[in-house]
Chains A and B, each alone.
Chain A
Amino acid sequence: MMHSRLQIIPAKLPSQLTTVRLLIRHPMETGFRFDVNGSAVTKNVIHTLTALFDGKQVFKATLGSGISADPFLEFQVRTPQSGELLLQWQDDAGETGEAKALISLPG
């Protein structure tokens, strides 16, 4: 299980947006690096990240080695009603992670 921090800034009005901020602890190994023994470090990056709101995909990101270690991502979602936001991601080593949060809108 990967460490992650998820911050949700819910919309104040139904017409507004909800901001999602996600920070994952991950080396995002490029595969171009060599360790002290001179052997290549295998590439291991988080390649896909999806955001589901009430089970429906609202956002998808495909990341590469061009994204910094400990990737940070901020994006907006439209949520017509309150519900659960689930973020799932997967790295090249097959390890997966997820974070979820409840988006509660006023009214």
Chain B
Amino acid sequence: MNLRRRLLWALGLGWGATPALFAQHVPQEELLQPYVGINSAQKGRVKLDIARLADNGFNVPLKVSVASPMTEQDHVRRLLLLSNRNPRPLMAAFDFGPSSDQVLISTRVRLGGSQTVYALAQTSDGLWWLDTAEVEVTESACLDQT
């Protein structure tokens, strides 16, 4: 194999490996599996408030609330913010206890392109609750080199 052919071959290999390197939309089951395990998350209780159109992916404000009485018996244990396109899907995790009151969080996240943002909450009975929001991002936060 001459050098030129070898280079072309390497280029082809690089092209083939591209989808794995470049950020792709992760399917919901695959995205949630590391957190919920064999359980499944159901829609409800969580409310994710985020603008449908984000001009700047570097700085997307969002608000999450979880309906819960926040008592010793019934409270929110964990709240996760997930992205199905960022190179690191877990954007933030928040831990609560019965001493926390109403779960209402606002923060600002980076989004590497148009995608679905997931807010996943676990209540003290072990159930997972979910809310999703589609976001169009005009200018992506280049979290990787895409």
Contacts and interface: CB of A to CB of B under 8 A. Distances in A.
Binding site of B, secondary structure by majority: helix, strand, loop or mixed?
A: loop
Nearest to B99: A58
Interface residues of A, number: 27
B64 to A, nearest CB: 10
A32 B144 contact: yes
A62 B144 contact: no
Contacts of B89: 66
B91 A71 contact: no
Nearest to B109: A66
A77 interface: yes
B92 interface: yes
A99 B97 CA distance: 21
Binding site of A, secondary structure by majority: helix, strand, loop or mixed?
A: strand
Given A17-B101, A76-B102, A68 B95 contact: no
Interface residues of B, number: 35
Among the interface residues B83, B86, B107, B145, which one has the most CB atoms of the partner chain A within 10 A? B107
Interface in A55-78: 56-69, 71-78
Interface in B67-108: 70, 81, 83, 86-97, 99-108
A66 B92 contact: yes
A32 B107 contact: no
A58 B58 contact: no
Contacts of A90: none
B59 interface: yes
Interface in A29-75: 30, 32-34, 56-69, 71-75
A73 B93 contact: no
Interface of B: 58-60, 70, 81, 83, 86-97, 99-111, 142-145
Interface of A: 17, 30, 32-34, 56-69, 71-78
